[in-house]
Every structure is written in C-alpha cells, then in structure tokens.
Structure 1
Amino acid sequence: MTHCDRRDSEIIVGDCSHIMLWEQGGASQTSVYSQIGRVLMRGVTNQKDGTFDLDEMEAKFSTADNIHCASTSLVCVENTHNYCGGTVLPMQWLREVRSNPQPADL
C-alpha cells in the first residue's frame, strides 16, 4: 500500500501470484488491500514460466481520468514464482515490464 499513495488505486498482478491468491484471501475475497487502503487488484493471466503478456497488462491499465474505475498505480511481479514451479523470471522480461508504455503516475 506504500506504493499506492492515493485511495481507490489499482494493482496489476499475475492471476497465479501469491499476492493475488493468499494475502487474506487475495482479490477473490475482500483483501487487506481493499479493507485498509482501498486498493484493488486486477489480474493478468500468468504463463507457465511466471511471466504474463505485456499487451494484456497494458490493456488493463486504467487512468484517473475515468472516475468510474480505480486508477492503476502499481504492477507487482512475483519472483521467484511459486505456483509456476519456483521459476525465476527472466531479466529481459522484467526490463520489458518496466519499459512498457504505462500511465504517467504509475
């Protein structure tokens, strides 16, 4: 919640990541993020190697100009990825996540 400095923020996470599935029920239930910080999670489909499609990630970004949606403030990746066999995410992919076009306040 430290990285989502405004209420009604959104975090993009892999749908098989620990933060999505286990942190007090994750996004499938009322999570600690939404209980305390009013931060929502939006999942993107994890691939078998723990990565996710960057086009899908970009398509999920939401900006503050739409008052009906939480605005994306953070992308979280899990490294190593437990549900994908303890996979270490490739550095090149991590660089691509960071360099991918994103909202200015992300």
Structure 2
Amino acid sequence: MALPALTPAQRAEALKKAAAVRRERGELLAQLKAGDLPLTALLEREDAVVGKVRVRRLFESLPGIGSVRAGQLLSDLGISESRRVQGLGPAQRARLLAQFPHQN
C-alpha cells in the first residue's frame, strides 16, 4: 500500500508530532532507568507512546540490565526479539512483572 502524498505543511506537522512522541518515550525510559518510575506504572499506560516500545529496549532501560541480560530475559520469558509492549499478552505481562518484583 502506497503512502498518501503529503503537503510540505502536513509533513512538517507529522515530523513535529513524531519528535514529540520520541522525546516523551525517551523521558519515560530515562525515569525508569533512574528508578523514578516503577515498571508497573509504565506497563499500565495504554497509549501509543509506551505501546510502541520494544520489550528489549524496555528491559535495557531497567537499572542493572544491559544488552546481554535483556536477551537472556527475552529468551527465558518466551518473548520475541521484535515484540513491542502493546503486543504482550496477559500471561507474558504477568511473567514479566513476576521477574521484577522489586520494580513494582
């Protein structure tokens, strides 16, 4: 399916909106990394800002978890590398939260 042709003004507005969403997503993940935002609060949000985050990036934003440990967690929890937060099922969310009881 071809993308619709946008006017320069529409394109500029879409780019501005996308930048704002990326900025908000980055701020949320930084709060998570600093320990200012609990994991449960982040997962309870039902918006596109959090929903579009890959689970691997979410893991890497947790304190003390790097790339290698994030990969191990994905494997242990049975979550695909490409899975986004909005695509997690109830059982996967429960296993994820059980893995991080200190983050609740």
Where on the TM-score scale, by shorter chain, does this alignment land: which range?
under 0.3
More strand by share: 1
TM-score, scaled to structure 2: 0.27
More helix by share: 2
